Structure 1
Amino acid sequence: MIELEGLTKRYGEKVAVNNLTFTVHPGTVTGFLGPNGAGKSTTMRMMLGLDNPTAGDVRIDGKHYAQLKDPLKYIGALLDAKAMHGGRSAFNHLLCLAQSNGIPRARVHKVLDTVGLTAVARKKAKGFSLGMGQRLGIAGALLGDPEILMFDEPVNGLDPEGIHWIRNLMKSLAAQGRTVFVSSHLMSEMALTAEHLVVIGQGRLLADTSMSDFIRQNSRSYVRLRSPQRERLLDVLHEAGITAVEAGNGTLEVDGAGSEQLGELAAQHQLVLHELSPQQASLEEAFMQLTAESVEYHAHADHQPPSTADPGSPPPPGGTPPGQSWGATWQQPGKGN
């Protein structure tokens, strides 16, 4: 279990993490979401004692990280897959970690096999691809067989098979009763993996709820109807006190009535339906809706510069011509993402 209470981190006047309080429970995959600059990485670094909070507290199974003896046996983390000595082999990298935490040598062989790197165990890490480095980082997180695991962008660089593997691995770890906390910008992947969500924006807690409740609370659900007997269908819906909205292409959208109710109503009046489909927003749509006011870095669709200009060249003397913009809109970054 990971417990945060009033966790705050300031860098000068910049508040990267602002009074965060939530608990990551065992037995479920908890997704950690937020726009760029929201404070996710800073929060995870404070969980592991890599950054000291300005205020508040974070505990790992009731203790501060610094109080854990052989911490890899309590919590394993992948924050940066490149955080390794490139001149060491995969095996020796993991062996150093194991020896520093009282972990048997045999465990190194075990996790290398788990992540599929046994064949390259004696090769230097600097020659690894991004995906191979990611697998080695995951092996390091699993090394101490911990009850708590944290992953930051775990599918980065993995091929489809690897993505499928890490998704099932995280679900399996949670099913064993372990605490699994994962941060990712890939909403489609998070929707397939996480059961619970913690969402932050500009360092503040925006949501701490189940995946299904998050989508329901931050999006519109409706039923789409399409019938060759459209006018009669509208009359039947009106008589039943159900409001339908024209959606174009001959379709109707109905809020406040389930697909079962609408299907039975159509059957009672012998109406032919070509479509009866409940519509639910995706995680991405719900996330965008909730965090719209918390996005710190906005990209804008610029007008194209003159075709004779080099896209990488500076603006022409005298400024940018009216009605055109040059380059990307960029804001001074603050710490924490």
Structure 2
Amino acid sequence: MIELVGLSKRYGEKVAVDHLTFAVRPGIVTGFLGPNGAGKSTTMRMILGLDHPTAGDVRIDGKHYDRLRDPLTYIGALLDAKAVHGGRSAYNHLLCLAQSNGIPSRRVDEVLQTVGLAAVARKKAKGFSYGMGQRLGIAAALLGDPRILMFDEPVNGLDPEGIHWIRNLMKSLAARGRTVFVSSHLMSEMALTADHLIVIGQGRLLADTSMADFIRANSRSYVRIRSPQRERLLDVLHGDGITVVEAGGGVLEVDGGKAERIGELAARQGIVLHELSPQQASLEEAFMQLTAQAVEYHAQDGPEPAPQGWGAGWKGGAG
């Protein structure tokens, strides 16, 4: 388990992490979300002892990282897949890590097989594609067969097969009782992978909750209805005390999870329904709603301005 208590980090006047307190528990995949500049990478670096907190405490299975004996057997991490000596082969890179942490050399072959790099084990890392580098970084994280896995943007550079593989790997590790902590900006992928979410903004904790509760709390859920007997259906719903919003195009919307109740009412009255569908926001929509006031970098909406020095008649195009 990873435990943070009042964890803070300041760089001069800039507060990167602001009194974070949360726990990452075993047996589930915990997603770590936040806008750019929210403090996610700084938090992960402090967990691994790469940055020292200005205040607060962080422990791994009850110990500070620098007090762990053979740390790769406690926690494996992928923070930067490019942090590899380009002149070393994949095999030798992992072998050095194994030898320095008291890990049997046979684990090198095992993890290379696991991540699909066995065929290029003797190739130098500088010739690897970005996706291959990601796989090598994941192999390093798995090397000590640790109880805790921490991944920062693990699907970057991976093809669809690789994304599917790492998703299933994280789920299987959690199912075996491991602690899995993963940061990603790919909301669609996080929605398929994480069971629990830690969300931060401007260094502060915004949410620590299950995936389902997070979406429910930060979005609108409603039932979408279409019927050729629209006026009669409206009368029935109003008579039962159900508030209906007319959304245009013949579509009716009812807030909340009342699909079964609406279906039963329509059936009793012999009303034909062409659509009765519960609607729920995506993780991305819920995330945008929660973090709207915590975004540090805002892109400008609207058309891109013309380059300075070009006349008003400039319309772009090839030169």
Question: What is the CA deviation profile of residues 242-270 of structure 1, one whole-angstrom value per residue up to 9, with x for unaligned ones?
Answer: 11101111100001451110000000110
SS of alignment partner, residue 8 of structure 1: strand
1:1-337 alignment runs, 5 A limit: 1-256=1-256, 258-306=258-306, 315-316=308-309
TM-score, L = length of structure 2: 0.96
Unaligned runs of 5+ in 2: 313-319
Q: 1:257 to 1:149 in 2, by over 3 A?
A: closer
- The amino acid of 2:309's aligned partner reads P
Cα distance, 1:302 vs structure 2: 4.1
- The amino acid of 1:283's aligned partner reads L
Contact 1:242 1:257 in 2 (8 A): no
Name the CA distance, whole Å, in 1 between partners of 2:208 and 2:15: 21
SS of alignment partner, residue 145 of structure 1: coil
Unaligned runs of 5+ in 1: 310-314, 322-337
- The amino acid of 1:121's aligned partner reads A
Q: 1:256 to 1:112 in 2, by over 3 A?
A: closer
- The amino acid of 2:79's aligned partner reads L
TM-score, L = length of structure 1: 0.91
- The amino acid of 1:292's aligned partner reads A
Question: What is the CA deviation profile of residues 19-78 of structure 1, one whole-angstrom value per residue up to 9, with x for unaligned ones?
Answer: 000000000000000000000000000000000000000000000000001100100000
Name the CA distance, whole Å, in 2 between partners of 1:99 and 1:136: 17
Name the CA distance, whole Å, in 2 between partners of 1:118 and 1:4: 37
Question: What is the CA deviation profile of residues 90-143 of structure 1, one whole-angstrom value per residue up to 9, with x for unaligned ones?
Answer: 000000000000001100000000000000000000000000000000000000
Cα distance, 1:316 vs structure 2: 2.3
Cα distance, 1:223 vs structure 2: 0.3
Cα distance, 1:304 vs structure 2: 4.0
Contact 2:170 2:180 in 1 (8 A): yes
Name the CA distance, whole Å, in 2 between partners of 1:193 and 1:6: 28
Question: What is the CA deviation profile of residues 225-255 of structure 1, one whole-angstrom value per residue up to 9, with x for unaligned ones?
Answer: 0001111111111111111101111100001
Contact 1:224 1:251 in 2 (8 A): yes
SS of alignment partner, residue 281 of structure 1: coil
Aligned Cα RMSD in Å?
A: 1.2
Contact 1:197 1:210 in 2 (8 A): yes
Question: What is the CA deviation profile of residues 183-234 of structure 1, one whole-angstrom value per residue up to 9, with x for unaligned ones?
Answer: 0000000000000000000000000000000011111110000001111111
Identity %: 81
